[in-house]
Structure 1
Amino acid sequence: MNPEIYLDANATSPVLPAAASAAMAVMADGFGNPSSSHAAGLRARALRESVRACARRVLGAPEGRLTFNSGATEGIQTAVLSALVALRDARANGQPCGDLVLVGATEHKAVPESLAHWNRLLGAGLELRTLPVDTDGRHRLDVLRELAPRAALVCTMAANNETGVVSDLDGIAQVLRDTASPALWMVDCVQALGKLPLNLSASRIDYAPFSGHKLYAPKGIGMLYVRAGAPFTPLMCGGGQEQGQRSGTENMAGIAALGAVLDALERGDTFRSHAALLGCRARLVAALQDAFPGVVFNAPLEHALPTTINFSVPGLSSADVLEVFDAAGLRVSAGSACSASKTAPSHVLDAMGVPDWRGASAVRMSFGPLAEDVVIDQACARIAACARALALPLLQASPLAADGAGLVQLEHEGGAGWLLFDAAGRTCIAIDPPAALAGRTAAMVNAGGYRLLAALSTAHDGAGAGALALCAHAGQGIAGWPDGGIEARLEDGRRLSAIALGREVLVRDGGKYLFGRLQDGVLALRFAFDGSGAPVVTPGMTAQARPQTEADMELDAGAVARWLAEHPEALVVDVRCAREHAVGPLDLHGWSALNVPLARVTEHASHWLDADTRPLLFVCRSGARSVRAARTLRSLGHPRAWSLAGGLALA
């Protein structure tokens, strides 16, 4: 596998060596509790206060509160609680304070979720309203000007975590001054530290949360700045640590590590300059443009952090790009790490009015201010390799049956459709194609230069919604059984209408479809499709499922080398897609792998069942696809199918 190139710094960053050393020194020798009055405690207290003093200098905050906490989410919660308690009390006392809370449309979800939570629990009765952004991702100052007189609290961010767009904070402050708005103002500064100049005491900002792990400090340490005179209510009460502002024994290892990062920022000899970072970004942008001529950037670069690129490639989903980039050792993301497991489109890009296809294709590439030129150059080379892999056709002849028809599973939300294709004749037939995958399936067909003969449904005499959608997206094909064709005879003597697909035929038998090769005019069955989601009825297969748990068929990374040594006849099967395999060929403890994508495991099952059931070890990136492949083979009667638990990520 390729060595890792980490380009997801907006999600988290590696730890600065000096920060790791500082944390280790505290844990090993300076482990005193800063609340203790003995010498060890006094040394810990002195360290804590020296870090706080450095933070004040770096942030331009000689006055106001500066509290250490666990990170940005806690800081946001504390700021929201502080503001809403003060506003609730003011309204209860009849004091004018506004009735709106304005939340930037592209805020991290921690902000609106915290506001809704505390507004409900406190009974503050404030109206939460979205402050829209323009197509560049910057806040609509005209809307702010209209609403500012009614605003009680305004929540914006210094720079967006998904697009890197830098907010016009000076413009926002000017509007609040011009309108004499009474609003408190919270600015999420998580992505700003080390990337944008900060002078908090000279600003109108009331609350500014920070998170250390976005800039080379460990996870679990952050800061909250509160302007002098701004309302404050502790989120956590107890022992009175942090001058009663945040109870709980301080995370001294985290504070020491954050201090090392802040010290490096203050010295100015560790992190790269703004101009140098712009140069790194320009090289990555050029590499993307060379590799993908149609690439679109989802935020104007002139308004974005020099360390963030958000792009979309026509015809490729985010998942397509991420899978291949990850196989090449390029770690990027589709947006916020906190939302990576969710399938909903990016609320940030939606708020900017980005077209749906770009939202579905969006990829975020972000690096930190320690980026090295040699790593950027390597990333550019890998981007080019990924583009070549992504241009490979997905419908390719099987390595086990190069002259036969291929079968691809089209799976969506537990349901399955199928695409039969003949690589030699460039023809294909779809059966029960999921409507949600119509665009992607059509792109796969058209990119390979295939002619769609028919799109069929087992549940309709005509064509289902998926078949109609596929033909519409592909701009070709007949939805439903076509007229004409040929005739095939079954073993029971019946003669039925059939469609030729290369050397094989698809036969219509009432509400199901039979696929195989004609031998002396009689159909030798390979697959039957009846809409059940399990179409295989292949000679040699036993359709009887065997009771099993995933643990029964998984080998962990520590055991796999021993297992391979004990089973020299085993076949290692890489079930990643062909594009992933192309940029990251699998070499597992010296064993090369046969590439059979998960979507084509059913097609190959009969071969493995007929071939003396040699042990099979399925492997993928995370273990999710490989365990499904092993489960499929076990359910069909193969007793020796296994999966690498955790996949290549843990191997």
Structure 2
Amino acid sequence: MLNLTDIQPQKNEVYLDNNATTPVLPQAAEAAIHTMNLCYGNPSSSHMTGIRAKYILDSTRTLARQVTGATDGKIIFTSGATEGIQTSIISALNAARETAHNITKPVLLYGATEHKAVPETLKHWNKMLNIGAEVVAIPVDENGILDFDFIAANVPNALMICTMIANNETGVFQDLAGLETVIRANNSDVLWMVDCVQGLGKIPLALSNTTIDYAPFSGHKLYGPKGIGFLYVRETAPYTPIIAGGGQEGGLRSGTENLPGIASLNAIFKLLADENDDTFKSHQVLVAYRAQLAETLAEVFPTIVYNHDFNYSLPTTLNFSVEGLSSKDIMNLFDAARIRVSAGSACSSKVTGSFVLDAMGKSTWQSEGAIRMSFGPASTQEEIDQACSAIKNAVAAMRHSCLILSDADETFDSKANGLQQWIYDQQCTWCYIDQDAKEIVLIDPVPELVAKFDTLVSCQNYSIKAILATHKHDEQADTPAILRELLGEKVPAGDFDQLGWNNATTTQVTLANDSVASAISIGEKVLVKVALPGHTNNSVAYLLGTAVAGKLAADDIDYVFSGDTIQIGGIGRSDFDVSDSTALYSSIKELSAVINEDTLICPAHDYKQLFTTTLALESANTPLLSKVIKDAIDSTVFVDEKAAIDKEITASDEPTYCGSIKESIDPSIDVTPEQLTSFLIENDNVMVLDVREPHEFEAYSDVNIAEQQLVNVPLTQLTDFVHTFHEQKQHSAFVCICRSGSRSDAAAKTLKRMGFENVYHVPGGFALYS
């Protein structure tokens, strides 16, 4: 196990994720340590040590009033904003129980872009307290501003309304004065909570001059430690303690106070209140910082789009998207370059967007590709300069990898060669590149990846040999045709079938079972189309290999692009309207007759992040498949058994899966970060595989471990690696490493499953390796 002192920021780290949490200011840390070491008394104790502790408590409360403009009302110290939100909502709903009976259809209003803590808390306590109100989101416009007309129409029936001073994803701030006018003009008694977490230190506050009833704050969003916050409660607002006990905080919040945390707030509040201290920068300085970052981003990402209007946003937040790049692409690059930002959506193969941007009506690609870059009000010019320099250096690696094109007339010798797997929402798009011939083939594309493909083709001037689908459902778009239209003259004209096969450019190839099939060339290889109806009536497979004298032998096939006929963990389902189980039976026998049992199969979906498979693996996993291949079952029995399997899919937790995926995967073997160096020194013939993408690898390429240079095997090219290194399965050891350990775990499991005997991965990856 790592020692805590071994966990430290990386050298030259640039932290631009302050909306998530901030580093602790030295003054705040010093105050907390001083209190822990020397002012350790309990504020409730009556002796002198306790009196000194109580002074810290009371003086911090006074300072909190000063910086929030709360000349009256209650200031209650909490564990953070979530507790403050809970307390506010419980207090309001408890008081509203009687009022609810007098309203025909009571509602609880909250802004559609609120932090999830607010609507989830409203829903939870509405149910627990049996209020019976409808929880309703207030719409926002394209700028993220709350709909005043909606509020005016609905607030008369509201028991509570919750808004936020500034959004955590976009920095969009609300017009508090305008909100107050519309709320109070239509319901003078409704209880109003304003989440002020992102506002303190950035927006002037005068809480006592408003009719805000509750305002939660958090210490760790303003350079304090985690686990401390405070709540403002208006003098006339109802209040229900949610923590009972010893009666601390005047009986409003029991439990011994977190005095070190409160002391840290004391130091922060003093800096905020001191007009002669420049720790916290003025609005004008923060705007200049944002302008500098925006100028740098525009320089490196010419097609950048901001997801918020700077006129309506705090200067400390920049939320942007770049068409053709996923949030995962950008965040992983920045993290490799030691620039810390947040993705606006989840970074996984299961794509999700930002609910905040969705509420603002932003396009899908903006929502799914959003990046949030946030600095703090105490940031320095030196930090912003360092950030801009790091961004420029990092994005250069993206240009080298042909993920973006620059305005300059640059040419790069891309290292991309062979097979790549691009994942979007568990769908596999396979891209095969012959670098020598400058030719490229795309199989099973999804529309969301067209910009990535277009950029790659433009960057390297590749000749597009084919854009193909392995099958098409009735409701599916004709993606190859869409791409051909979007790419225009980059795609050669021809006689295309419904899956994109260009009949005008084909030759004939004989397969291992002596059948003759159509083929196209790519470099020195051929791509052969084989009809495999069953999953759909138009399903095909494409075989990529080296033909000799017009014949493609099973031994000479590198990859099979099987669509959903054969999947990782099962046979494709055949219970759709366009399916035919009898035809699927014949197709499986046809496929097994022209490929080997260990030929790499590349499916159209990857539900478990295992990349590739073989007939041997799937036969071992699926008895029904094994019986078909061994001719131990006829088509009639197959149809009955297959129907039973398909029913299990429909009744499963994942009824949209295109096949029955049941295989359990053995865990990978760990080499922990603290063991890695000694492991490499003690073991010979070990290859360290950095499975990050090439642009991540290049962004900080001077990394080595135990004086051993890392080999970059991007996860997108793992199937190609399996094919290329299949003869070293038993003779070498492989250690997989990545940013956090997630991708290296997937890589190690895949290699182990594919027969590589000595495979390890590093949990925690570079994040924990010192």
Q: Which residue of 1 aligns with 2:361?
A: 353
Determine if contact 2:324/2:450 at 8 Å carries over to the other structure: no
1:411 is aligned to 2:423 = yes
Any conservation in 2 of the 1:570–1:615 contact (CA below 8 Å)? yes
Distance between the aligned counterparts of 1:504 and 1:353, measured in 2? Answer: 46
Give yes or no for contact 1:72–1:209 (8 Å, CA) kept in 2.
yes
Q: What's 2:526 paired with?
A: 505
Compare 278-287 and 381-390 and name the one that shifted more. 381-390
Map of 2:673 onto structure 1: 557
Residues 229, 538 of structure 1: alpha-carbon distance in 2 compared, 3 angstrom cutoff: closer
Please state whether the residue corresponding to 2:751 is helix, strand or coil: helix
Q: Which residue identity lines up with residue 283 of structure 1 in the other structure?
A: Q
Give 1:263 shift: 1.9
Q: Is 2:68 the counterpart of 1:59? A: yes
TM-superposition CA deviations, 1:112-159 (whole Å, max 9, x none): 111111112222233332222222222222333344444332211111
Shift in Å, 1:620:
1.2
Q: Hey, what does 2:40 align to over in structure 1?
A: 31
Conserved? CA contact 1:105–1:132, under 8 Å = yes
Equivalent runs, 1:533-548 vs 2, <5 Å: 533=567, 537=599
Q: Distance in 2 between matches of 1:363 and 1:225?
A: 32
Residues 503 and 68 from structure 1, CA distance in 2 versus in 1: closer, same or farther, beyond 3 angstroms?
A: same
From the superposition, tell whether residues 179 and 627 of structure 1 become closer, same or farther in structure 2 (CA, over 3 Å).
Answer: closer
User: Cα deviation per residue 1:592-650 (whole Å; 9 max; x = unaligned)?
Assistant: 22222111121122332324733222221111112222222222222222222211111
Residue of structure 2 equivalent to 1:421:
433
Whole-Å separation in 1 of the counterparts to 2:218 and 2:389: 32
- In structure 2, which of residues 59, 79, 93 is the aligned counterpart of residue 70 of structure 1? 79
Q: Take 1:178 and 1:340, find their aligned partners in 2: how far apart are those partners?
A: 44
1:131 aligned partner: 138
Farther off after superposition, 64-73 or 236-245: 236-245
1:269-348 alignment runs, 5 A limit: 269=277, 270-335=279-344, 343-348=351-356
* 2:655 paired residue number: none
Compared with structure 1, are the counterparts of its residues 152 and 313 closer, same or farther at alpha carbon in structure 2 (3 Å cutoff)? same
Helix, strand or coil at the partner of 1:272: coil
Q: How does 1:355-394 map to 2 (within 5 A)?
A: 355-393=363-401
Equivalent residues of 2:109, 2:160 under 8 A apart: yes
1:591 positional shift? 2.4
Distance 1:191 1:384, change over 3 A: same
State the match for 1:516 in structure 2.
545
Gaps of 5+ in 2: 1-9, 404-411, 533-540, 569-594, 602-612, 621-662
Judged with a 3 Å threshold, the aligned counterparts in structure 2 of structure 1 residues 641 and 112 are, in CA distance, closer, same or farther, namely same
Structure 1 residues 495, 176: CA separation in 2 closer, same or farther (over 3 Å shift)? closer
Q: Distance in 2 between matches of 1:200 and 1:460?
A: 60
- Contact preservation (8 Å) 2:351, 2:424: no
Residue 163 of structure 1 aligns to a residue in which SS? coil
Q: CA deviation at 1:79?
A: 0.6
**In structure 2, how many angstroms separate the alpha carbons of the residues matched to 1:229 and 1:582?**
60
SS at match of 1:14: coil
The alpha carbon displacement at 1:273 in A equals 1.9
In structure 1, distance between residues paired with 2:444 and 2:323: 26
Aligned-partner Cα distance in 2 for 1:467–1:210: 52
Distance of aligned partners of 1:30 and 1:549 in 2 relative to their CA distance in 1, 3 Å threshold: farther
Give the 3-state SS of the residue equivalent to 2:246 in structure 1.
coil
For 1:355 and 1:183, the matched residues in 2 are separated by: 35
Question: Alignment length, in residue pairs?
Answer: 642
Distance in 2 separating the partners of 1:61 and 1:161: 23
User: What is the CA-CA distance between 1:175 and the residue it aligns to?
Assistant: 2.3
Q: Does 1:636 align with 2:754?
A: yes
Q: Contact between 1:97 and 1:183, CA under 8 Å: does it hold in 2? A: no
Judged with a 3 Å threshold, the aligned counterparts in structure 2 of structure 1 residues 461 and 350 are, in CA distance, closer, same or farther, namely closer
**Does 1:255 pair with 2:234?**
no
Instruction: Check conservation: 2:99, 2:159, Cα contact below 8 A.
Output: no
User: What does residue 442 of structure 2 align with?
Assistant: 430
Partner of 2:742: 624
Residue of structure 1 equivalent to 2:509: 488
Indicate how the Cα distance of structure 1 residues 509 and 139 shifts in structure 2: closer, same or farther if over 3 A, else same.
Answer: closer
- Cα deviations across residues 315-346 of structure 1 (Å, max 9, x unaligned)? 2222221111111111111238xx77884322
**Residue number in structure 1 paired with 2:206:** 199
Structure 2: how far apart are the matches of 1:510 and 1:345? 37
Shift of 1:304: 1.2
Tell me how far apart the structure 1 counterparts of residues 29 and 108 of structure 2 sit (CA, whole Å): 40
The residue number in structure 2 matching 1:45 is 54
Aligned partner letter, 2:749:
R
Alpha carbons of structure 1 residues 448 and 599: separation in structure 2 relative to 1, 3 Å: same
Does 2:24 match 1:3?
no
Of residues 469-478 and 416-425 in structure 1, the stretch that sits farther from structure 2 once superposed is 469-478
Specify every segment of 5 or more residues in structure 1 that has no aligned partner in the other structure, as ranges. none
Task: Return closer, same or farther for 1:544/1:638 CA change in 2, 3 Å cut-off.
Answer: farther
**Secondary structure at the counterpart of residue 645 of structure 1:** coil
CA distance, structure 1, for counterparts of residue 665 and residue 674 of structure 2: 20
What is the rounded CA distance, in whole Å, between the counterparts of 2:400 and 2:243 in structure 1?
55
Task: Report if the CA contact (8 A) 2:342-2:371 is conserved.
Answer: yes
Is 2:217 aligned against 1:185?
no
Could you tell me the TM-score, scaled by structure 2's length?
0.77
Does residue 583 (structure 1) correspond to residue 699 (structure 2)? The answer is yes
Distance 1:180 1:258 in 2: 35
Q: Does 1:85 align with 2:94?
A: yes
Preserved contact between residue 134 and residue 352 of structure 1 (Cα < 8 Å): yes
Query: Which moves more between the two structures, 599-608 or 141-150?
Result: 141-150
The structure-2 alpha-carbon separation of the partners of 1:263 and 1:98, relative to structure 1 and needing over 3 Å to count, comes to farther
How far apart, in 2, do the equivalents of 1:208 and 1:542 lie?
A: 59
CA shift, 1:434, in A, is 5.4
Specify whether residues 473 and 247 from structure 1 end up closer, same or farther in structure 2 by C-alpha distance, changes over 3 A only.
Answer: farther
1 CA distance for matches of 2:40 and 2:72?
29
Amino acid at match of 2:678: R
The 2-side partners of 1:230 and 1:149 are apart by 18
State the 1:97 CA deviation: 11
Letter in 1 for 2:125: W
Query: Which secondary structure state, in structure 2, belongs to the residue aligned with residue 530 of structure 1?
Result: strand
CA deviations 1:378-428 (Å, max 9, x no partner) are 2112222233222334599996xx9xx611123355554422222233332
Counterpart contact for 1:287–1:383, Cα < 8 Å: yes
User: Distance in 2 between the 1:584 and 1:377 partners?
Assistant: 19
Q: Say which SS state the counterpart of residue 140 (structure 2) adopts.
A: coil
Provide the rounded CA distance (Å) in 1 between the counterparts of 2:58 and 2:351: 44
Identical-residue share of aligned pairs (%): 43
Q: Is the 8 A contact 1:151 1:182 kept in 2?
A: no
1:420-444 Cα distance to aligned partner (Å, 9 max, x none): 2222333323334457656655655
Q: Tell me if the contact between 2:19 and 2:375 (Cα under 8 Å) persists in the aligned partners.
A: yes
Deviates more, 1:210-219 or 1:472-481: 472-481
3-state SS in 2 of match to 1:276: helix
3-state SS, counterpart of residue 361 of structure 2 = coil
